[in-house]
Structure 1
């Protein structure tokens, strides 16, 4: 795979109703209803809203045979009203339901974690090789009849692995690892190949973006080794709502799309399903516009491991690089010194002026000629550092500052620049690019540095001209995703020239990107699902109430889940969990342990806060 030049991975075509996926087809957009599947009117109305917003597939949950049978009525009603969108049934725990649903919809999603294996209990199970083989035979014996039903009805399937619902069998043999998630998928995929069933789509999802990206990369490599080219469905589960949901989704999905992976996407937001579609559309359009871009002559280095990247080794310069967290540099060229106390940047680039007052602990970056002039004629404030441009390299050596910044492009990393940087480890590079595929060019810059043995830290300068904050969030997260997951990021300088987005919004986006990439925490982390027909309480209003009460608890992770399908598993690294247990009933978790069951919904948020307080993790506002 070419890390630097965009092209889509070649995949086989899968027939899904009249909307095929993979092959030469465009990347498809989809969403899922959150209405009860037995409520035909509500499902039809919501499916129409998804399609009218641009959705190309609509998924509905089917927890039992009655729900699966009602998919026929929903399908008929949509067709009668002129909506030909393919419907996808989402099945967990009961393979009989999948058999029924396959007769009435265009695609069925099954979850390998609970299709045949018993519901997970997080217990370690010991298997001999013979016993393990017998378990695989059970899967084969139950899965093949389902494939035959799908063949008869021209129904496609999705093998949908979720990090949060791996079986005890897989967890016991492989652990909670990307390798285990991939094997969970491959067990079923190999049966499809044996049975010559090719209308298969695959997904491997997680709420942890690092796990999600790493696992999909590994899956593609394993499929390639076994001669498979099945298309991919991409998504970050339980991404949340608002800014968090958009940034986390764009970061994870965007990192994979940028490498040419992915044939359909679902942005999972804890909002109305139709709200997911414009976000997904913007993300796909932003990535695919780099098709046929000018060639980037990058070369990856042997020490870089795409499937299991580690943080690039760098020299620490003050608080940048080395073992330090990635820094945030804010651009304030207009003199705006208003900051959100929760998102105070580490450095502020002010161009040719030194502000009279800075937030406590924040340092200033100014243009090198101004710094040198002030240094010669008068004292430079101790918290101000020079930034050089590419044409100022000859002057860099004459500057005695212990921290210097250098704006540089990939093409600007020439022999002169390389020689200079070898003598000046105190220089932090600010990577900039105007290339249509800026990610590819910025990747190429760092790989060239690694080839030359340069260990200077690198801050990525991402610049936009957006007037909608959602557009900024999506584009910046998509551009930064792979750079973070590849272990190349020592900081971010996010700059936007739009008139309607203020500096505070830009700062929040920069910090949000680092948090979504799991490299720096600046606020409470919420792992919240988008809801579906299984959700038995008002998810959106509940999330709002929990956020209001806990939004100031920096670093705390709270899972807010509609039901138990992914609940305890997907929030395995959450500190606390709020999980739907039945109609109007909630169970509370501390880590993976359920500490209180079947609490009335109207009391549950207060009891969650009490649980957090009793464990010493609550701080008053």
Structure 2
């Protein structure tokens, strides 16, 4: 911990306010170059059994056609490594020259074979020369050095082969598969992740081998972001070459959740100019991953022309550890409260109970009562279109002050002001008022609200470099010791749902992982004119994304989280089908984290953040975990979901699902 605190004297990126990509050394992988001045590269990984040559070739072609520029294929043993030659030959015969990467776990001999065939090998320093037994080992400095010498001997043959063949390497640390040696000395920390890679990098440097890309992956976005930042700082501090970075969030999951979680981690780093190649890991067919990665990357092609943001010379935030910004409690915002979700419904006039389903609240007329699901928003913003019926207790309404001021009963509605309106107003709500400002108005707003105990800021920006512009405003609040709660508001023009998910997750999630923000609001103000049905669908999307971003940033757990790997040739069951089956039975369990892993490589280590685990251990056999501990082995797959539910039930975490 001390070494992390010391490193605050250094920066982890070129600038916290001006978009500038970190300059790295170029690493050649076939005809693709990662790093240097080259564009960020999109990559993905096959899911077909590596011994199925034709199936692998067909899938590679689909991936290439979807925009994949680098393809990774698992090689769990020598026979799969050898078959990479056949896959590569077939692709080249068909005119496809996309470089191939061998993915290696536990098997150095397979890595050595693959390094003579493909353009790049990926090794995991946590299991390349170690077998994980979850043991705590007491090391002296001498005994620890002996371990490093053992690793050196095991690793040197691969370096030699890579140098002889011009083969590149990725040293890919995974949070969940740190070796017992690293865990014993550094713990389950970003520093441990970084040191795991540095052990191998020092050996490469001694051998003058530098065709290296590095990754620091985790399914926990806070840990992932902190580890990459710390890696950059430690590379600079240790005099290493500025190696390119491969960005990714492990086991992100599927559909909306997987996209949002990936964007919170990857997008946060891209905002600060970190990252030279991206892989989005979804529990979906791999050809769906490249377009998501490209959508994230494409935001930065013209980013350097953004409006100027004043520099941060004294950064009051520790970028390597999560600490929530200190804020006072106002109503249910700030201090110890979880971040709140405000959903904008202002584009619907004469709203009815029916439309409230879009924000997670359901009116049951036969019972004359409301029910709420796990995405029931905290507040709705109605603007100048007030809601004409009584709202459920779990939700409050925000109105423009021009409407609110004419209410007979102002107590249960809350006003929203512009800065000019706020400065001129006298009779505020006694408990809760909202002041909407841009980042450029932050200093004037601080003067107005510094001593107020009844106001929440709604902070937005028009700067295309949105996250850093908003972060700059937060820094001014911290430096002024202004502890007013802040809800971050973002708005996007008409665009695909995927883009809305990715952009909001980056712009707001990047703040949340640093402890900045007491709420989120996706606004309709930049939307075009739509039918009532289309607006309702957009509201539903915004509401869902709001909760998804908070969960992905680890700041509010409102629904079941699935830490599911993206599948590969090692997988022992249909991950997509199994994940869907488990989700159907368990997605009403708020805040429970379930890991769904296709094989032991992605087993207890990779799902380190999960409460319960479902791991393939053989054909038709499943091993079930509670945390990192095995509860049941070799469970027939047809009974495994029921057995998983029984474990959750016995643990007191099960609740019956209610119908709405």
Identify the TM-score tier after normalising by the shorter chain.
over 0.9
> Cα deviations across residues 314-355 of structure 1 (Å, max 9, x unaligned)?
111011011110000111111343332321111111112431
- Contact in 1 for aligned 2:316/2:479 (Cα 8 Å): no
Report if the CA contact (8 A) 2:51-2:83 is conserved.
yes
- The corresponding residue for 1:482 is 510
Worse-superposed segment, 88-97 or 188-197 = 188-197
SS of 1:320 mapped into structure 2: coil
Are positions 1:392 and 2:432 aligned together?
Answer: no
Distance 1:323 1:287 in 2: 35
1:99 aligns with 112
Match of 2:150 in 1: 138
Q: Say if 2:452 is the partner of 1:424.
A: yes
- State the match for 1:547 in structure 2: 583
Residue 68 of structure 1 and its aligned partner are, at CA, apart by 0.5
Q: 2:477 is matched with which residue? A: 449
Deviation at 1:309, TM superposition (A): 4.1
Contact 2:74–2:569 at 8 Å: present in 1 too?
yes
1:128 equivalent to 2:128? Answer no
Which is further off, 302-311 or 105-114? Answer: 302-311
SS of the residue aligned with 1:579? strand
Q: Does 1:209 align with 2:245?
A: no
Closer, same or farther: CA 171–153 of 1 in aligned 2, 3 Å: same
Equivalent residue runs for 1:50-199 within 5 Å: 50-117=63-130, 119-199=131-211
Instruction: Give, in angstroms, the shift of residue 217 of structure 1.
Output: 0.8
RMSD: 1.5
Equivalent residue in structure 2 for 1:402, among 431, 447, 465: 431
Question: Does residue 349 of the first structure (1) align with residue 381 of the second (2)?
Answer: yes
Kindly indicate whether the alpha-carbon contact (under 8 Å) linking 2:505 and 2:549 is maintained by their aligned counterparts in 1. yes
SS in 1 for 2:146: helix
Q: Partners in 2 of 1:312 and 1:295 — Cα distance?
A: 25
Offset at residue 553 of structure 1 (A):
1.0
SS at match of 1:337: helix
Aligned to 2:61: 48
2:328 is equivalent to residue 328 of structure 1: no
For the pair 1:362 / 2:374, whether they are aligned, the reply is no
Secondary structure of the 2:403 match is helix
1:164 positional shift: 1.2
Partner of 1:316: 329
CA distance in 2, matches of 1:100, 1:209: 34
Other-structure match for 1:505:
541
C-alpha deviation, 1:400, in angstroms: 4.8
How far is the alpha carbon of 1:361 from its aligned partner?
A: 2.2
Residue in structure 1 matching 2:468, options 433, 440, 449: 440
Match for residue 564 of structure 2? Answer: 528
Quote the Cα distance in structure 1 between the aligned partners of 2:283 and 2:196: 27
For residues 494 and 133 of structure 2, the distance between their equivalents in structure 1, rounded to whole angstroms, comes to: 47
**SS of equivalent residue, structure 2 residue 151:** helix
TM-score normalised by the chain length of structure 2: 0.91
How big is the shift at 1:608? 1.5
**Contact 2:487 2:518 (8 Å CA) reproduced:** yes
Q: Indicate conservation of the 8 Å contact 2:169/2:212, yes or no.
A: yes
What does residue 601 of structure 1 align with?
A: 637
Determine if contact 1:267/1:277 at 8 Å carries over to the other structure: yes
CA 302–204 in structure 1, closer or farther in 2 if over 3 Å, else same: closer
Residue 460, structure 1, aligned to residue 473, structure 2:
no
CA contact (8 A) 2:212 2:243 kept: yes
1:288 to partner: Cα distance: 3.6
Alpha-carbon distance, 1:310 to partner: 1.1
Distance (whole Å) between structure 2 residues aligned to residue 396 and residue 2 of structure 1: 39
Range with greater deviation from structure 2 (477-486 or 318-327): 477-486
Counterpart of 1:411?
Answer: 440
- 5 Å-filtered alignment, 1:145-294, equals 145-227=157-239, 228-294=241-307
> Counterpart in 1 of 2:593?
557
User: Residues 350-379 of structure 1: CA distance to partner in whole angstroms, max 9, x if unpaired?
Assistant: 1124312223321111112322333xxx33
Q: Structure 2 stretches of 5 or more lacking a match?
A: 1-13, 361-371
Secondary structure of 2:594's match? strand
Please tell me whether the aligned partners of residues 425 and 455 of structure 1 are also in contact (alpha carbons under 8 angstroms). no
User: Partners in 1 of 2:630 and 2:19 — Cα distance?
Assistant: 46
The whole-number CA distance in structure 2 between the counterparts of 1:139 and 1:176 is: 20
CA shift digits 1:503-526 (9 cap, x unpaired): 222111100110011100111110
Other structure's SS at 1:267 match: coil
Q: Which residue of 2 aligns with 1:22?
A: 35
Question: CA separation in 2, counterparts of 1:430 and 1:422?
Answer: 15
CA distance in 2, matches of 1:70, 1:361: 58
Contact 1:162/1:566, CA 8 A, preserved across alignment: no
Question: Gaps (5+ residues) in structure 1?
Answer: none
Q: Distance in 1 between matches of 2:544 and 2:409?
A: 33
Alpha-carbon distance, 1:397 to partner: 4.8
- For the residue of structure 2 that corresponds to 1:502, the secondary structure is helix
- SS of the residue corresponding to residue 201 of structure 1 reads strand
> Deviation string for 1:166-221 (max 9, x for gaps)?
11111011111111111000001111112111110000101111111111111111
Q: Which residue of 366, 379, 384 maps to 2:409?
A: 379
Question: CA deviation digits over 1:392-448, x for unaligned, max 9?
Answer: 232245425321111111211244x33211232422111111111111211111111
Tell me, in whole angstroms, the C-alpha distance in 1 between the residues paired with 2:489 and 2:292: 23
